[in-house]
Amino acid sequence: MSGAGWGKKTSNQRPQGTVRRSQVVTTFGPGAMVDLIDHAVLVGGLDFWNFDATKGGTTIVEPRLREAIAERFKVRKRKLSIEDAFREPPTGDEQDSTPLRGIQVLEFPRWHVCQSPSCRALVRSDNLELKRERYHHACNRSKSSETVPIRFVAACSKGHIQDFPWIYFVHAGSESGPCPAPSLSLEEGASGDFSEVVVVCSCGERRSLAHALVEEANPVCHGDRPWLGPEGQQPCAGQNLRLLVRTASNGYFPQVVSALSVPDEAGALQNAVRQVWDVLTAADKDSLPAFRLIPKVKAALSPYSDADVLATIASIRKGEGVPREPLRTAEWKQFLAASPEKPGELPRIDERFFVRRGGVPKVLAGWVERLVLAHKLREVRAQIGFTRIEPVTADLQGEFDLGVEVQDLGLQTDWLPATEILGEGVFIQLDEARVQAWEKRPQVIQRGVALLAGYDAWAEGVDRAPPFPGIRFYMLHSLAHLLVSAVSLEAGYSASSIRERIYCAAGDSDTPMAGILLSTGSSGTDGTLGGLVEQGRHLERHFRRAFQLGKLCSNDPVCGHHSPQGDPSERFLEGAACHGCLFIAECSCERFNCYLDRALVVPTMGHAPELAFLNGLL
C-alpha cells in the first residue's frame, strides 16, 4: 500500500504498510479502513491499483465463477471482462518501492486528536504539521504534540462513508447558531462509554457522543465514496448518517463468491475459446484458419471444428454463456462421481481437482452415505462488492443477490480482485433417506418453528434479510462446526485454518443435497501436505469426538435450553450454540457463526433425544 491521498506520487517512497494479497480480497478490500503504523487509511478502489508496468496483473481463470458472476452483474448493468475477469492484487517491492506500483490508499479519517493531556484538540489534518511521518499539533508557541486519527467516522447502510460532522454535531440545537470560529477539543472519560466522550467548542457548546447514537438526530448522508476518488459520489436517498467506530466489525462486510475448479464438460469449448480470446476477438470465417496456425490457438482448439468455434465466438460476443448448473450443485455432482481410491494412485502435477471415494466406517453406515478424499483442490475466491452496517448473506449456492444495495469496487474497471487457494479436503455426504426421515419427526418440526420465529424476529429489523435457510441447513452447519473442532485436534492444522463448505438443498429439489466439505489450503503455494485427507480415513474417531463435544457445553444448562423464539437477549439466529460449544473462528465459517443449533445434531440437555440427527449412532 502506498500514498496518503490521490495524486501524491513520489519516487522511492517507502510503502506505508503491507498486507497479504489474499487479505485484500476479503478483510482489506477496496473501501476498507486499515490502521497502518503511522496513519489510518481507506483502501483505494480498483481504479487506483497499480500493477507492474512490465508484467501487468496476474489473471486467474475460472470460467464457472466468471459466468455465475457475469449473469448477476447484468442486474446492475455492469460487464465483466471475458479474458481478464479476475486479477490477483498487485505486489509491492519494499526494496524498490514506488507509488506507481501497489495499492493507493487515502488518508481517512482526516480529523485527528492531539495527545497532549492538557490540549486534546480535535483538528483536521490540513491544519497539522507532518514531522517524521506523524502529524503534530501546535498546542502553543513553544510546544507541539503528536496526534492520532479519531476513532469515529460516519457511514450509512448503503456503504457510503465520510468524516463525522463534528462542527455540526456540537452546535446542533444551539440557540446562538453556528460558531463563527469553531475550535474543538475532545474529552474522554476513563470508561470509554459514549456518554463520557464529549466534544467541546471554544464558544462553550458541548455535547456527548451518546446523542450521535440516535440516527434521526444526525444529518443526511451526502453519498460520499472516497475510495473511488473525486468522481465517486452518488445520491443517497434520505439515509441518515450513523456513528461508526472505525475499527468496529460492522464497518466492512466483503462479498466474496468462490468456486472449486471442477471438470466442466458442458463449457469445455467455450473455456478453450476464452483462453485465447485475445487472439480470437476479431476472428471470422475467413480469418479463423490463419488464427489456428498460432501455437497457443492450435493447442486450445484442435479438438473442435471451425463451425463450432465460430458459433461459440458469436455467443460470447452476444454475452451468452453455456447453460451451467449452480456453483455448488455442479461441485456436488463431481464429488458424488468420484471413483474409488486405488493404492499408489497419485494426482498429476497440473491437476486441480483430484478426488477419490474412501470407505465409510461400518459404525457410520446409515448416517454417512459417502466419504470422498479430496487430495487436490483449487478454490478461486473473488470479491464482487461490500456493505457496511449490515451484511448481505449469500444463498445456499454461495451466490449473492446483486439486486440489493451493495457498493462498487471500482468505477471504470471490468475485472474483480481474486485469489486462488490450493489445498485438500474431506467431503462427507449424509444419507439422504435418513435426513428426510429426520426432518419429518414431530420434535424436529417443532424446533423448526422456534428457529423460524427467531429468524422472523431478526429479519424485521434488517433491510436485506436472506431467505430462511431451513432446518436442514442448521443441522449441517452445526455438524460442520463440531467436526472442525474435532478434526483440528489431530490434523496438524489449527481450527482457524480449516474451512467449511456446506452443500444443502431441500429433499424435494431437483438435486437434494446434504453434505459438508472441510478443506484447508494456502494462496500462492503448492497446497498442503495431506494431513486433512489422512484424517478422513479416521472418520469414526472424529464423529465420536464431535458427538462428545456437542453433547455437553460448559455453559449448560443455559446454552442447551436456549431458544431463539421470543429471546430477550436477541440471539435470534442460533439455538443451543455459544462460544463454549459451536462457535469457531469466523474465517472458517460461512455464516458469521449464525444458524447453529447442536440440539439438532446430538442429544442435548433439555431436549428430547429424537431431536438429534445422530441420536442412536454412538
Three-state helix/strand/coil letters over 68-103? HHHHHHHHHCCCCCCCCCEECCCCCCCCCCCCCCEE
pLDDT value, residue 403: 55
Question: Of the residues 208, 223, 249, which one is the last residue of a structural domain?
Answer: 249
pLDDT in tens, 159-216: 999 999 999 998 887 777 778 888 999 998 877 788 889 999 988 888 999 988 887 8
Checking if the pLDDT of 226 tops 90, the result is yes
Q: Which of 373, 493, 495 is nearest to 428 (CA)?
A: 373
pLDDT at 284: 87
Quick one: 594 and 568 in the same domain? yes
- Check whether residue 419 and residue 343 sit in a common domain: yes
pLDDT at 4 over 70: no
When divided into structural domains, the chain yields a total of: 3
The pLDDT score that the predictor gives to residue 12 is 47
Residues 176, 233, single domain; the answer is yes
Place of cell 471470422: 284
**Average pLDDT of the segment spanning 296-324:** 80
Q: Return d(Cα 25, Cα 413) in angstroms, integer.
A: 16
Cα torsion for 209, 213, 217, 223, to the nearest 10°? 100
- Over range 337-344, report the average pLDDT: 91
302 shares a domain with 214: no
CB 13 within 8 Å of CB 99: yes
Q: 158 lies in a domain?
A: yes
582 with 535, same domain: the answer is yes
First-to-final CA distance of the chain: 53
Q: pLDDT-derived band of residue 96, with 50, 70 and 90 as boundaries?
A: low
Instruction: Give yes or no for a contact between 580 and 593, defined as CB atoms under 8 angstroms apart.
Output: no
Within this chain, do residues 309 and 337 fall inside the same structural domain, yes or no? Answer: no
pLDDT level of residue 402 (50, 70, 90 thresholds): low
Q: What is the pLDDT of residue 14?
A: 58
SS (H, E, C) 572-618: CCECCCCCCCCCCCCCCCCCCCCCECHHHCCCCCCCCHHHCCCCCCC
Q: Is 173 exposed, middle or buried (0-12, 13-18, 19+ CB in 10 A)?
A: exposed
Tell whether 70 is covered by a domain. no
What integer pLDDT is reported at residue 297 of this predicted model? 86
pLDDT score for 217:
80
Higher per-residue confidence, 596 vs 158:
596
pTM of the model: 0.86
How much is the pLDDT for 95? 67
Higher-pLDDT residue of 6 and 283 is: 283
Mean pLDDT, rounded, for 242-249: 90
- Which percentage of the chain shows pLDDT scores above 70? 92
pLDDT computed for residue 258 by the predictor: 94
Domain carrying residue 279: 265-317
* 128-137, 411-420, 470-479, 528-537, range with the lowest pLDDT: 528-537
Q: Which of 249, 276, 302 is the last residue of a domain?
A: 249
- Indicate the DSSP class of residue 13: P
Q: Sign (positive/negative) of CA torsion 403, 407, 413, 416?
A: negative
Give 565 or 406, the one with higher predicted confidence: 565
- Strands 416-430 and 86-87 turn out to be parallel
Residues 505, 356 share a domain: yes
Contacts with 565 (C-beta within 8 Å, 6 or more apart), sequence order? 449, 450, 451, 453, 454, 457
With a cut of 50, say whether residue 616 has pLDDT above it: yes
Alpha-carbon dihedral 249, 252, 257, 260, rounded to 10 degrees: -50
Q: Is 403 a member of any domain?
A: yes
Question: Mean pLDDT throughout 297-304?
Answer: 85
pLDDT tens digits for range 346-372: 888 878 899 999 999 999 999 999 999
CB of 124 closer than 8 Å to CB of 22: no
Indicate if the pLDDT at residue 427 is higher than 90.
yes
Summarised one tens digit per residue, pLDDT across range 18-68 is 788 888 998 899 999 998 888 899 999 999 998 876 666 788 989 889 888
Residues 6+ positions from 350 with CB-CB distance below 8 Å: none
Residue 525 in domain: yes
For residues 294 and 369, membership in a common domain is answered with: no
396 and 491 share a domain?
yes
d(CA 440, CA 446): 10
pLDDT of residue 7: 44
- Mean pLDDT confidence for 485-508: 90
Instruction: Determine, yes or no, domain membership for 255.
Output: no
Structural domain contains residue 71: no
Mean pLDDT (whole number) for 236-256: 88
300 domain-assigned: yes
Q: Is residue 154 part of a domain?
A: yes
Question: Residue 143's CB: how many other CB atoms inside 10 A?
Answer: 12
Position 1 scores a pLDDT of 55
277 pLDDT band, cuts 50/70/90, is: confident
pLDDT at 152 over 50: yes
Please report the pLDDT score of residue 122 as a whole number.
Answer: 93
Same domain, yes or no: 233 and 273: no
Spatial contact of 16 and 94, defined as CB atoms under 8 Å apart: no
Closest C-alpha to 275, from 309, 320, 325, 326: 309
Q: Are both 367 and 465 inside the same structural domain?
A: yes
Q: Is residue 459 domain-shared with residue 565, that is, in the same domain?
A: yes
- Rounded Cα distance between 13 and 107, Å, is 16
> Of 225, 249, 273, which residue constitutes the final position of a domain?
249
Q: Which secondary-structure segment (H or E) carries 444?
A: helix 442-459
Cα 603 to Cα 560: distance, rounded to the nearest angstrom = 10
